[in-house]
Amino acid sequence: MKSGQKVLDGACGIGIPLLSTARLVVPDGLLVGIDLAPGMVEFARSRAAEMGLRNAEFREADAKNLSF
């Protein structure tokens, strides 16, 4: 991974892969994690906020039916 890349994790769970790679794509990259489980998404969001990550976002969504 390198700065500026955009990455989608289709079943992110609590976000461990994205959170561990988020700093590799700053300042222009974006990481989006999606998962069906609201609790996991919320946990991943809170961890990203605690880490001060502005380039990672987490959404409750189905990887079979993406809105983007």
Share of the chain above pLDDT 90, in %: 66
> In the predicted model, what is the mean pLDDT of residues 21-33?
88
Per-residue pLDDT tens digits for 38-57: 999 999 999 999 999 888 99
pTM score of the predicted model: 0.86
**How does strand 56-60 pair with strand 30-35?**
parallel
pLDDT band at 22 (very low <50, low <70, confident <90, very high): confident
Domains of the chain: 6-60 (3.40.50.150)
Burial degree of 45 (CB within 10 A; 0-12, 13-18, 19+)? middle
3 CB neighbour count, 10 Å cutoff? 11
With a CB cutoff of 8 Å and minimum separation 6, the contacts of 6 are 25, 29, 30, 31, 32
